[in-house]
Amino acid sequence: MAIKVGNVEFYCGPHSVGADDNLEQVIVNFIDGAKSRLDIAVQELESKPIAEALIRARKRKLRMRIVTEHDYLRVTRAREDPWLSGGTHEENRLIHLAILRSNIDIKSDFNTNIFHQKFIIRDSSSILTGSTNFTPTGTHKNLNHVVIVHDKKVAKIFNNEFKEIRQGHFGKLNEGHDKAPSDVKVSNLPIRILFAPDHNPEMEIMKQMLKASKRIDFAIFTFSKSSGIDDTMLKLLKFGMPITGVFDKVQGANKWAATHDLKEAGAKLYAVSKSNGVGKLHHKLMVLDDEVVIAGSFNYTGPANALNDENIIILGDLDTTSETSRNAQKKIAKHARSEIDRIINAHGTQV
């Protein structure tokens, strides 16, 4: 089951392939709990149950705005008869039409690169984020996580980002860099939130790793050896830092993947293949010293840092001197690391 520390909730899925939680139901329940407003920023909307929850919310007279990635609505080649339905991503297009017919404000392709967010702001007081796309594959086949925080300060941080998204200030169109949000504390848990490309999440992850003194564990979909994160790991490995990671086999086999250099340097690495119902390992998850969790939508690549629309949410702080805070962050970190271990044991093959 999910771990809950006061107003912070951490879910791992999908339950259909052995993880604890039904991520689709978690998202549906979050939407159904809305009273007045929903702002949604998500790369892909293909799940009919999630779309139905959004339509139910609209029928309850909620104010609602949605932003998605346009690539899941268009076709790559013009059809001979464009009036015929069918083809790749047709379910996305049908859901998009149903959303429009429900008089919901939905727009796409604000970012000319990849709009990779996965978050919901509810009633200006709660947020849902993580690695999970709102698709049947994302919620029932791919290994993913969801973070929910009930806090007005955190909701305001995401609301400011949503406003910027609607202005289209990303990548080459980024007309100004906003300051990184201030850290907050929710239920005694320190939280830091950063958005790409403005806040350079890659650098923050590197800084967090350099604070670690015991171990680093990660589960990551795409990890490029051109990022500074792998350089930091290689340096830490030279100093004897134990690093264990699990990744998607297809992504990790690419020539540009960081996995090759990390393996040679002594990292303990595992790959997850498509088998026994698992689609992809899609997490963007790191645990430091069994105390701090770095979660969100951010893959460890250069484009994710400089061009794409992304977020990271850091749960915990290795520098905290508060025993109450350390106890809170250890609970979530223990849960996240146990899921990484479960994935390795149930689905991983050592490389």
Does residue 14 lie in a domain region? yes
| Concatenated DSSP letters of 33-55 | T-SSEEEEEES-B--HHHHHHHH
Nearest to 318 by CA among 239, 240, 236, 205: 205
The boundaries of the domain holding residue 316 are: 3-173+186-350
DSSP string, 145-169: EEEEEE-HHHHHHHHHHHHHHHHT-
pLDDT in tens, 262-314: 999 999 999 999 988 999 999 999 999 999 999 999 999 888 887 888 999 99
Average pLDDT, the chain: 93
Residue 34 belongs to a domain: yes
**Total-model pTM:** 0.95
Q: Output the pLDDT for position 198.
A: 86
Q: Do residues 288 and 318 touch, judged by C-beta distance below 8 A?
A: yes
Instruction: Tell me if 179 is assigned to some domain.
Output: no
Distance CA 179, CA 199 (A): 7
**Band of pLDDT at residue 166, cut at 50, 70 and 90:** confident
Which pLDDT score is estimated for 73? 77
CATH classification of the domain holding 295? 3.30.870.10
pLDDT confidence of 170, banded at 50, 70, 90?
A: low
CB–CB of 44/73 below 8 Å? no
Q: Are strands 189-196 and 184-186 parallel, antiparallel or unpaired?
A: antiparallel
Place 169 in a pLDDT band, splitting at 50, 70 and 90. Answer: low
Number of separate domains in the chain:
1
Residues 149 and 293 sit within 8 Å (Cβ to Cβ):
no
Per-residue model confidence (pLDDT) at position 164: 86
pLDDT range class, residue 173, cuts 50, 70, 90: low
- Residue 20 CB contacts under 8 Å (≥ 6 apart), including other chains: 1, 2, 11, 12, 13, 339
Whether 178 maps to a domain, the answer reads: no
Ramachandran region, residue 187 (left: φ > 0; alpha: ψ -120 to 50; beta: rest)? left
- Whether residue 210 is contained in a domain is answered as yes
175 pLDDT higher than 60: no
CA atoms within 13 A of residue 45's CA, in its CB half-sphere: 30
Asked whether residue 180 is domain-assigned, the answer is no
Q: Which residues contact 44 (CB under 8 A, 6 or more apart)?
A: 68, 69, 72, 92, 133, 134, 135, 138
CA–CA gap between residue 222 and residue 316 (Å, rounded):
24
> Which pLDDT value is given to residue 114?
77
176-185, 196-205, 251-260, 264-273: least confident range: 176-185
126/110 Cα distance (integer angstroms): 24
Q: Give a yes or no: residue 122 inside a domain.
A: yes
Q: What gap in Å lies between CA 278 and CA 19, rounded to an integer?
A: 11
